[in-house]
Amino acid sequence: MTVDATSAAADDDGMDLRLTAREQAFAAEARAWLHDHVPRGLPPSGSADGFAAHVAWERQLFDAGWAVVSWPRAFGGRDASWVEWLLFEDAYYRAGGPPRVTQNGIFLLAPALFEHGTDEQRQRLLRPMAAAETLWAQGWSEPGAGSDLAAVRSTAVRVDGGWRLSGQKTWSTRASFCHAMHGLFRTDPDAPRHRGLTYFLVPLDAPGVRVSGFRRLDGDLDFADVFLDDVFVADHDVVGAPGQGWKVAMSTTGSERGLILRSPGRFVAAARRLVALYRRERAVASPLDRDQVVRAWMAAQAYQLYTLQDVTRVAGGAAMGASSSINKLAWSELDVQLHDAALALLGPRAELVEGAPDAVDGGAWIKGWQFALAGPIYAGTNEIQRNVIAERLLGLPKE
């Protein structure tokens, strides 16, 4: 992944929290464009119609050059610096932009392609991914391999010119509406757990693939099981070397712009909405509600500052490393805390969902609360993150 690793100020040794003229111009351009274009009231992405609306928005983003700002221009990006990326994300969520249905491609698969893919793969795959022409689902989890990703049991068997894949993937977000899936399959059944895995790209319209959607906690049809029965995948759809799938996947999960270094924009925007909610509801808010709101706002600030520190570090050439586990713990708990504060403030009105005439903010808080509850579970449960912090950052012994 090519990145303009230094913002203008980063060469200077001192702390400097001013934005450069270039950064300010970038942010202003992003804000102005998003202000004019962010769609209001998109339907949930868990239906064919809803998904199509989200895809249309993604294409609009791409056409204007905002889909993948940190990518090289050759693939549809803007060569944006780390800081510019943060500024874009901040502007995106500040403007009320919807969740990105392209994210399992651009945040999870793309880093693997940048690091481990071939030039041919990058040329063939990246631009359609960014343009939301090819929609990507993740095929990482299996019924028996959730937190324990190395327990993958789906298999791939070598055949002439490619591989034959069989097994079941699950919790594959939006797979019902996607064109392709990336995931790990076991190519060497005799190798130990983390070995013998290979990273494949699987067309979801290939013969032998069956996708069966199911609903997440809030009732949206956002998950799917993907059943594979002797599905052919050509050699050019293997990322990295056969048997190196774990390494490729870890480069993805460790990707600073992937799920691990969550841009604070989403949470800072939620904190801002929470403050606005408090200001509207202050007549009925108790001093405890007030304290919960300010605590959540403060946690969002701390998270934002923590990521700025990480970005500075990584822009200076350091690896993200295990501090990504603190990052994951922080954003996922913060998201719960933000919504907890809102629900407490709403009291008996908190339970009203979208469609209820008296739902405050259209039921967004109880919806967001349910969404937030996934945070401590996915992308490595927070229990696993705490183990990583204890073992890799503090040096405690493994169990």
Q: At what angle do helices 287-315 and 265-281 cross, to 10 degrees?
A: 160
Q: List the interface residues with other proteins, window 254-283 (CB under 8 A).
A: 272, 275, 278-279, 282
Q: Is 18 or 40 the residue whose CB approaches other proteins more closely?
A: 18
359 scored as a contact of other proteins (CB under 8 A): yes
Site map 9..38 versus a copy of itself, x via CB under 8 A: ------------------------------
322 scored as a contact of other proteins (CB under 8 A): no
Q: Supply 338's token pair.
A: 């933000």
Q: At what angle do helices 265-281 and 82-94 cross, to 10 degrees?
A: 30
What separation in angstroms does the CA of 20 have from each of 43, 69, 315?
Answer: 38, 17, 16
- Annotated catalytic, 256? yes
Tell me the closest approach of the beta carbon of residue 201 to other proteins, in angstroms.
23
Q: Is 41 or 287 the residue whose CB approaches a copy of itself more closely?
A: 287
Q: What's the gap between Cα 176 and its chain centre? A: 18
Tell me the closest approach of the beta carbon of residue 347 to a copy of itself, in angstroms.
16
Q: Which does 263 bind (CB under 5 to 8 A by kind): other proteins, a copy of itself, none?
A: none
Q: List the interface residues with other proteins, window 156-195 (CB under 8 A).
A: 170-171
Q: Is 59 or 295 the residue whose CB approaches a copy of itself more closely?
A: 295
Tell me the closest approach of the beta carbon of residue 155 to other proteins, in angstroms.
19
Tell me the closest approach of the beta carbon of residue 286 to a copy of itself, in angstroms.
8
Site map 286..305 versus a copy of itself, x via CB under 8 A: xxx--x--------------
CB 275 within 8 A of CB 293: yes
Cα 26–Cα 299–Cα 347 angle in degrees, nearest 5: 115
Cα gap 56→37, rounded to integer Å? 12
148 scored as a contact of a copy of itself (CB under 8 A): no
Catalytic residue among 23, 84, 142, 256: 256
Q: List own/partner pairs for 227-231 with CB under 8 A and 24 or more apart.
A: 227/168, 228/154, 228/165, 228/166, 228/167, 228/168, 228/169, 228/202, 229/166, 230/164, 230/165, 230/166, 231/164, 231/165, 231/166, 231/202, 231/206, 231/207
Which listed range, 36-44, 59-67, 285-293, 370-378, lies at the site for a copy of itself (CB under 8 A)? 285-293
Q: Which does 17 bind (CB under 5 to 8 A by kind): a copy of itself, other proteins, none?
A: other proteins
Q: Supply 337's token pair.
A: 């805390």
Contacts of 96 by beta carbon, 8 Å cutoff, 6+ apart: 38, 40, 269
Cα gap 104→182, rounded to integer Å? 9
Q: List the interface residues with other proteins, window 226-255 (CB under 8 A).
A: none
Q: Is 39 or 316 the residue whose CB approaches other proteins more closely?
A: 316
Active-site residues, by number, are: 256
Residues that bind a copy of itself (CB under 8 A): 286-288, 291
